[in-house]
Structures are given as C-alpha cells and as structure tokens.
C-alpha cells in the first residue's frame, strides 16, 4: 500500500495524480476463512483490523450486504465522547476516545478527529444533579470532564440562549477532549488498512443462512455462495436480530429508526458539540459549515431507514428555542439509520448460544463514538474465545442475571 | 407520520395521539414459571423485518389499548383489532396475504 504523506502528495502533484491506488481491493469470497466478520461498518472493520494488528490473524473476510460504511457508520452525527456514569461504559468508551486521538496516524488516513469539546446542557434541577453525579463518576475513573456554570456556557457557545422560556440553562457537563470525526473516513481508513493486511473485503454480499453442525458454527451461506469459517462474528447493528434469527436464537434487541439532518452551510458559529438532553436535540457544525442536528429515535420498531417527520419537528423546535439564531436556516438533507436498542441502552459484546459465533451489537444511538474501542474488545474476545476485561460486562447473560448497566442518567438524548 | 385506526373510538388517529406498547400477544408469566420463561417474557422480542403485530395505546384519546398489524420495512398498516383478541383475527391475516404473497401467517 502506498502511504499517504506529504512527499506522496508532492510527487503525485507532478504526475497528474495518476499514481494513487484504490483505497481497498474489492474481493470475491474464497472457499474458507479462519474468521468471518458479518457487517462492513465501522465496528466490523475495526474488529478485523485489531485482529490483524493485535493478534496477527489475517485470514479474515469482512462481508458487507451493501457498501462499506453505507449503514449507520455513514448516518450518524459523528459525536465522540466518554462522559458516562458506570465504570463498565466509561472503560470501553474512554478506550475508544483515547484510540481516536491517534487513529489518523495509526491508520495513515486522516479521520479528521477534532477534539473540539462536548457540552451537555442541564436544563432542569434533576438533570443538573444527575450530571454532577456523572462528573464525579468521570473524575474517579480518570475521564476529564467538569461542571461549568451558565455564564461559562455562554462564553463557550455565544449563540446559546441560556435563559430560555421553558428550560433555562442551569449548568453543563463539559468534556474538552470530546468532539467529532469524519465518519466515512473512519470506515474507509479501517477498510484501507484491513485490505493492506490481506483481509478480504467483500461488498454486495448478503448473508442468507448460517451453517451449523451440532450447535457449532461451520460457515455462512451468502448471495455469493457458501463460505466456511471456524469463527463468525455478527456486527450488523440494526439487522442483528435478522441474523440471529438465521442462527436460531433471539436477541434482547429492538430495531428503531433514528434520524439526523443538516442545515444549509453557513459561516462558523459554533465550535463545539452541544447536547440538550431535556429538550431532545444536539448540534455541531461540520467543516463544510452545515449544522449537524440529531434528535430522538422513533417510538416504534421499524427498519425503514427514514424516520418519522414529527421527530424532526420536535428536534428542530427544541434547538431553535436553545439557539434562536438558527431559526431562519433551511434544512439541506435528512436521513435515517436503523439502531439496535437493548433494554438497558448498553451494547452487547458477547458469545452466543452457537459455539464459535460471536456478536457485537446493541450500540443503539451511540455507536460511532465506540468504533475503535468496540473493535479492540471484540477482536480480543474472538481471539481468546472469551470476552476480556473491556467486553465482559457487556455479555448477553447480563439480562438473565439481572446485572443491567444503568446508563439512563448519563445517557444523551435517546442514549 | 403513522395513521392508525382506533377500534374503540372508531376513527383514524395520528401517531402523535398514540403510544406504542411493543410486541402484541406476549404470553404473560406467573410465579411458577422458570427463569428462562421470564427472560423471554421480559427481553426477547421478535423484532422482525416484515410483518409485525404490536400494541398501541390511544393516549390522547380514549386511553385504551388496541392491536395493529404493520410492516416494519415499509410502515404499511394492515388494520387494527381489539386488544382482547388472543391472536390476530382471520380478516387481518387475509388483508396481509392479499399484498404479501410470501406471508407465512402469525407465529407465536
């Protein structure tokens, strides 16, 4: 693989840019692999990448139904933060945020990680108390966050209306090392590096069946033929239940559409991420100048990748109240993704009832921020055939054993 | 926006008037049930990509529950029926079959 560097840009500039290679090679499936990862989004590619990088396994296929990064990896609002309440969540999300810091160098691909700061507003007394508790939990666990007063909020975000008519800002939880990254670049960067390691990336290949022998996985049946494998990992976000059905078990997951939108591009007006959880809306500005806006998920199960109109209305209403200056902006685009919600709004990284079959799902509305950490933990689990320290709190057993991970107080909008 | 028929009020209502209660026809468990049964009752949902039967409550209306058949991929609605039914009525299943030839029927 040709490295991206100043000198390569310099030489290519004199050759009409004809020397660039394709970022990753499109492959047809081989007959057999050691490991198959089903799902070529951020989490799946990161899993394959860390298996190769940390454990030297490269006999891997990443199978994707559509195209790389075409699912939720390309449909989120790109927010990265780790200001969670519980130790287990802080562990994996902070690991992830930490990996994001050097991801561009690690992948030799500019993922445009921008630690611009994440501000979570407190707009009721209860929220203020909950956030104070979170800030203490963060401090104990070594996550750099602090509570800031309303005047400081106004200083960080001058366009905010801190004495709103319904919900005045009473304070905020500020994580200065949180921020955003270019979501497509994360998928593309991992795909390029995986391809470089010799991992096969197979696009336009849907899994339509699971091959088992005495409750042990032996391969998958796809639209491009049968592929054998010793280990298989499902990393399919909203469609995890569909895959689990093929493998003959059910997951404690419900799929819901979550949508986001961007405004027309304007000059820079906001240089951090603001999340207003009470009124349901979050806002940041992309490098192109569009305001990136996200809100709540639909109130009923669906796979429509559209989302219902009333949630856009609610989100925009809330944000116009918080940032009156944006009231005349027009919406440029809107899109939806299918998120996999668990009962406790925490992910599942776990073994399954089928031997040799692993699963990584349930990230709900907050999966993008977790991509590197989740890949790291899943790779560790697949290699050792049991979850490591990061992944073990997130096993499927936690539902039947009653050790749910209570993140409702620390969660953002819908999580 | 979804537009569902409330069989109690006998009129169509918007999604904003309603609240979704999740999968319908769940088998309730009593104290004599096993841990596995309770786990299934509490957490394991069908989450089908296709036709589902679900509970809705007319919150800003009569306040009563009713059941609906809907496709989760297209959001096409196939009609509502009373929450007292223990399984989807034949008329609803026939309506689904008319537009989905591969529909296999209701599975518990």
pLDDT tens for A24-70 read 999 999 999 999 999 999 999 999 999 999 999 999 999 999 999 99
Query: Is B3-99 CATH 3.30.2270.10?
Result: yes
A44 plus A62 within the same structural domain: yes
In a domain, A408, yes or no: no
Does A312 lie in the same domain as A172? yes
Residue B34 at interface with chain A, using a CB cutoff of 8 Å: no
A217 contact partners, CB below 8 Å, separation of at least 6: A210, A211, A229, A230, A231, A232, A247, A354, A355, A356, A357
Per the structure, the complete domain to which residue A391 belongs is given by 6-82+84-109+183-252+346-401
Taking each helix axis from N to C terminus, what angle separates A42-55 and A183-197, rounded to the nearest 10 degrees?
40
Residues A258-299: pLDDT tens digits?
999 999 999 999 999 999 988 889 999 999 999 999 988 888
Whole-angstrom Cα distance, residue A49 to residue B107?
A: 40
Q: Do B47 and A241 touch (CB under 8 A)?
A: yes
CB A180 within 8 A of CB A111: no
> What CATH number is attached to the domain comprising A314?
3.30.9.10
Q: Do residues A26 and A103 share a domain?
A: yes
The Cα of A120 is separated from the nearest Cα of chain B by a number of Å equal to 27
Total domains in chain A come to: 2
- Same domain assignment for residues A170 and A283: yes
- pLDDT tens, per residue, chain A with 415 residues: 889 999 999 999 999 999 999 999 999 999 999 999 999 999 999 999 999 999 999 999 999 999 999 999 999 999 999 999 999 999 999 999 999 999 999 999 999 999 999 999 999 999 999 999 999 999 999 999 999 999 999 999 999 999 988 899 999 999 999 999 999 999 999 999 999 999 999 999 999 999 999 999 999 999 999 999 999 999 999 999 999 999 999 999 999 999 999 999 999 999 999 999 888 899 999 999 999 999 888 889 999 988 888 899 999 999 999 999 999 999 999 999 999 999 888 999 999 999 999 999 999 998 999 999 999 999 999 999 999 999 999 999 999 998 898 886 444 444 4
Please check whether residue A299 touches B, CB under 8 A.
yes
| Host H or E run for residue B84 | none
CATH number reported for the structural domain that contains residue A72 in this entry = 3.50.50.60
Contact (Cβ atoms closer than 8 angstroms) between residue A249 and residue B36: no
Provide DSSP, B16-33.
Answer: GG-EEEEESSPPP--TTS
Inspect the interface and report whether the beta carbons of B72 and A254 lie closer than 8 Å: no
| Per-residue confidence (pLDDT) for residue A394, from 0 to 100 | 96
What pLDDT was estimated at residue A402? 86
Task: Indicate if A217 and A196 belong to the same structural domain.
Answer: yes
For A296, the token pair is 């709540």
Residues A76 and A104 in one domain: yes
Q: Do B52 and A301 touch (CB under 8 A)?
A: yes
The per-residue b/e assignment along A368-403, b for 16 or more CB within 10 angstroms, e otherwise, is bbbbbbbbbbbbbbbbeeebeebbbbbbbebbeeee
Could B15 and A310 be called an inter-chain contact, meaning their C-beta atoms sit closer than 8 Å? yes
pLDDT per residue as tens digits for the range B54-80: 999 999 999 999 999 999 999 999 999
* Closest Cα in chain A to B1: A308
Q: Measured between alpha carbons, how far is A181 from A368 in angstroms, rounded to an integer?
A: 9
Residues A229 and A275 in one domain: no
Contacts of residue B72 in chain A, CB cutoff 8 Å? 255, 301-304
CA distances from A263 to A120, A159, A160, A412, B34 (A): 21, 16, 17, 21, 52
Rounded to an integer, what distance in angstroms lies between the CA atom of residue A373 and that of residue A362?
15
- Parse chain B into domains and list their residue ranges: 3-99
- Which chain B residues are within 8 Å of A253, Cβ to Cβ? 45, 47
Residues A10 and A141 in one domain: no
A409 domain residue, yes or no: no
Residues A334 and A194 grouped into a single domain: no
A325 and A311 within one domain:
yes
Mark whether A273 and A390 lie in a shared domain: no
What pLDDT score does A408 carry? Answer: 64
Same domain, A67 and A33: yes
């Amino acid at each position: 693989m040709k490295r991206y560097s100043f000198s390569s840009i310099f030489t290519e500039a004199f050759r009409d840019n004809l020397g660039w290679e394709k970022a990753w090679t499109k492959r047809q499936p081989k007959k057999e692999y050691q490991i198959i990862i089903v799902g070529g989004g951020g989490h799946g590619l990161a899993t394959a990448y860390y298996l190769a990088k940390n454990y030297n396994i490269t006999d891997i296929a990443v199978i994707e139904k559509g195209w790389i990064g075409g699912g939720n990896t390309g449909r989120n609002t790109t927010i990265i933060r780790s200001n969670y309440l519980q130790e287990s969540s802080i562990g994996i999300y902070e690991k992830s945020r930490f990996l994001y810091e050097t991801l561009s160098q690690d992948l030799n691909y500019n993922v445009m990680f921008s630690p611009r700061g994440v501000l979570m507003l407190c707009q009721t007394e209860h929220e203020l108390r909950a956030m104070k508790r979170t800030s203490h939990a963060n401090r104990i666990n070594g996550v750099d966050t602090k509570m800031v007063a309303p005047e400081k909020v106004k200083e960080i975000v001058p366009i905010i209306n801190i004495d709103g008519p319904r919900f005045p800002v009473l304070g905020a939880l500020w994580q200065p090392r949180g921020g955003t990254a270019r979501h497509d670049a994360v998928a593309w960067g991992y795909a390029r590096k995986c391809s470089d390691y010799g991992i096969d990336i197979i696009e336009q290949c849907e899994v339509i069946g699971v091959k088992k022998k005495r409750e042990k996985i032996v391969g998958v049946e796809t639209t491009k033929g049968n592929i054998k494998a010793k280990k298989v990992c499902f990393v399919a976000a909203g469609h995890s239940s569909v895959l689990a059905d093929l493998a003959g078990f059910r997951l404690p997951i419900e799929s819901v559409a979550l949508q986001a939108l961007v405004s027309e591009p304007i000059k820079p007006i906001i240089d951090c991420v603001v999340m207003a959880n009470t009124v349901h809306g979050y806002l940041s500005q992309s490098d192109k100048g569009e305001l990136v806006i996200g809100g709540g998920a639909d109130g009923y199960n669906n796979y429509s990748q559209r989302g219902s109109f009333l949630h856009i209305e609610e989100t925009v209403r809330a944000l116009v109240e918080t940032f009156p200056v944006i009231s005349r902006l027009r919406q440029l685009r809107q899109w939806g993704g299918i998120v996999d919600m668990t009962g406790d709004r925490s992910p599942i990284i776990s073994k399954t009832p089928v031997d040799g079959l692993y699963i990584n799902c349930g990230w709900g509305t907050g999966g993008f921020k977790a991509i590197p950490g989740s890949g790291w933990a899943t790779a560790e689990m697949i290699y050792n055939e049991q979850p490591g320290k990061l992944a073990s709190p997130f096993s499927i057993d936690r539902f039947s054993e009653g050790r749910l991970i209570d993140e409702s107080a620390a969660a953002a909008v819908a999580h | 926006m979804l537009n569902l028929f409330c069989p109690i009020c006998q009129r169509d209502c918007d999604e904003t008037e309603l609240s979704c209660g999740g999968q319908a026809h769940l088998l309730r468990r009593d104290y004599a049930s096993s841990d596995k049964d309770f786990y299934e009752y509490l957490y394991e949902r069908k989450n089908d990509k296709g036709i589902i039967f679900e509970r809705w409550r007319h919150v800003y209306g009569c306040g009563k529950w009713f059941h609906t058949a809907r496709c989760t991929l297209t959001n096409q609605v196939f009609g509502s029926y009373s929450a007292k039914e223990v399984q989807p009525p034949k008329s609803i299943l026939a309506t689904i079959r008319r537009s989905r030839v591969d529909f296999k029927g209701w599975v518990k």
